[in-house]
Amino acid sequence: MQATSHPEINHLLDILLSQIQAILGKKLVGVYLYGSLVTGDFDTEISDIDVLAALSSEIDEKEFTQLQKMHTDFANHHKEWENRIEVRYLSLLALKTFKVQSSPIASIDPGEPFHIREVGKHWLMNWYEVREKGVTLFGPSPKSIIEPISKEEFIESVKDHTKSWGEWINDMHTRPAQAYAILTLCRALYSYTYGEQVSKKKAAEWAQTALPEWSSLIQNALIWGLTPHSIGRETGTRDPIVAARQPF
Euclidean distance between CA atoms 55 and 52, whole angstroms: 10
Query: What residue segments make up the domains of the chain, in order of their start?
Result: 7-144, 151-245
* Residue predicted with more confidence, 238 or 198: 198
Mean model confidence pLDDT for the chain: 88
pLDDT at residue 44 greater than cutoff 90: no
Question: Which H helix or E strand runs over 34?
Answer: strand 28-34
* Residue predicted with more confidence, 73 or 231: 73
Reported as a pLDDT band with limits 50, 70 and 90, residue 1 is low
Euclidean distance between CA atoms 238 and 241, whole angstroms: 5
Euclidean distance between CA atoms 91 and 103, whole angstroms: 8
Assigned superfamily of 7-144: Beta Polymerase, domain 2 (3.30.460.10)
Q: What is the pLDDT of residues 90-101, one digit of tens each?
A: 999 999 999 999
Q: What is the pLDDT of residues 55-114, one digit of tens each?
A: 999 999 999 999 999 999 999 999 999 889 999 999 999 999 999 999 999 999 887 889
CB-based contact 103:97 (threshold 8 Å): yes
Euclidean distance between CA atoms 95 and 55, whole angstroms: 10
Q: What is the pLDDT of residue 111?
A: 79
Q: What is the pLDDT of residue 211?
A: 96
Q: What is the pLDDT of residues 151-181, one digit of tens each?
A: 999 999 998 888 877 777 777 778 888 888 8
Q: What is the pLDDT of residues 111-155, one digit of tens each?
A: 788 999 999 999 999 999 999 999 999 999 999 999 999 999 999
Lowest mean pLDDT among 6-15, 37-46, 188-197: 37-46
pTM metric for this prediction = 0.86
* Residue predicted with more confidence, 60 or 184: 60
